[in-house]
Chain A
Amino acid sequence: MSLFSETMIITRRNLLKSVRVPILLFMSLFQPLLFLILFSQIFTSLANLPGFPYDTYLQFLVPAIIAMTALSSAFQSGLGTVSDVEDGMLDKFLIAPVHRISIMTGRILSDGVRIVAQAAVVIVTAFAMGARYETGLAGLVVMIFLASIFGMAWAGLSNIVALRTQNAEVTMVIGIILLFPILFLSTGFMPTALLPDWLDTVARFNPLSYLIDAERALVNDGWDWSLVVQSIVVTLGLGAVTLTGATRAFRKAIS
Chain B
Amino acid sequence: MKLIEVVDLYKSFGDVRAVNGISFAVEEGTIFGFLGPNGAGKTTTIRILVTLSEQTSGTAIVGGVDVSADPRGVRSRVGYAAQATGIDRDLTGRENLILQGRLHGLSKVDASTEAEAILEVISLAEVADRRAGTYSGGMAKRLDLAQALIHRPNVLFLDEPTTGLDPQNRNAMWTYLRKLNDDGMTIFLTTQYLEEADELADDLAIIDNGRIVVEGSPTELKRGIGGDSVTLMPSTDSSAEDLEVMATAMRALHDTNGVEKLGDSVVVYLEDGGSRIAEIVRAIDTTGVQLGRLELAEPSLDQVFLKHTGARLRVEDVKPPSRMSRNRRHR
Is A95 part of the binding interface, using a Cβ–Cβ cutoff of 8 Å?
yes
Is B131 part of the binding interface, using a Cβ–Cβ cutoff of 8 Å?
yes
In the complex, are the beta carbons of A87 and B324 less than 8 A apart?
no
In the complex, are the beta carbons of A87 and B103 less than 8 A apart?
no
Bound complex: CA of A94 vs CA of B232, how far in Å? 51
Most B-side CB within 10 Å, residue of A91, A97, A166:
A97
Most A-side CB within 10 Å, residue of B52, B91, B327:
B327
Taking the nearest CB of chain A, how far is it from the CB of B196, in angstroms?
22
- Counting contact residues on chain A (CB < 8 A from B), the size range is 20 to 34
Taking the nearest CB of chain B, how far is it from the CB of A93, in angstroms?
7
Size of interface on B: residues with Cβ below 8 Å to A: 34
Residues of A within 8 A of B84 (CB): 88
> Looking across the interface, which residue of chain B has its beta carbon closest to that of A16?
B91
Is B209 part of the binding interface, using a Cβ–Cβ cutoff of 8 Å?
no
Interface string of A162-177 (1 = CB under 8 A from B): 0000110000000000
The DSSP consensus for interface residues of chain A is: helix
Taking the nearest CB of chain B, how far is it from the CB of A96, in angstroms?
4
Is A49 part of the binding interface, using a Cβ–Cβ cutoff of 8 Å?
no
Taking the nearest CB of chain A, how far is it from the CB of B274, in angstroms?
49
In the complex, are the beta carbons of B91 and A95 less than 8 A apart?
no
Bound complex: CA of A140 vs CA of B50, how far in Å? 48
Is B89 part of the binding interface, using a Cβ–Cβ cutoff of 8 Å?
yes
In the complex, are the beta carbons of A95 and B131 less than 8 A apart?
no
Residues of A within 8 A of B52 (CB): 91, 94-95
Taking the nearest CB of chain A, how far is it from the CB of B112, in angstroms?
14
Taking the nearest CB of chain B, how far is it from the CB of A254, in angstroms?
8
In the complex, are the beta carbons of B131 and A87 less than 8 A apart?
no
Residues of A within 8 A of B327 (CB): 85, 166, 253
Which residues from chain A sit less than 8 Å from chain B, CB to CB? 1, 6, 9-10, 13, 16-17, 20-21, 85-98, 166-167, 253, 255
Give 17 pairs: A residue, B residue, CB < 8 Å, sorted on A: A1-B105, A9-B99, A9-B103, A10-B103, A13-B91, A17-B90, A20-B131, A21-B90, A86-B322, A87-B89, A90-B323, A94-B52, A95-B52, A95-B78, A96-B100, A97-B72, A98-B103
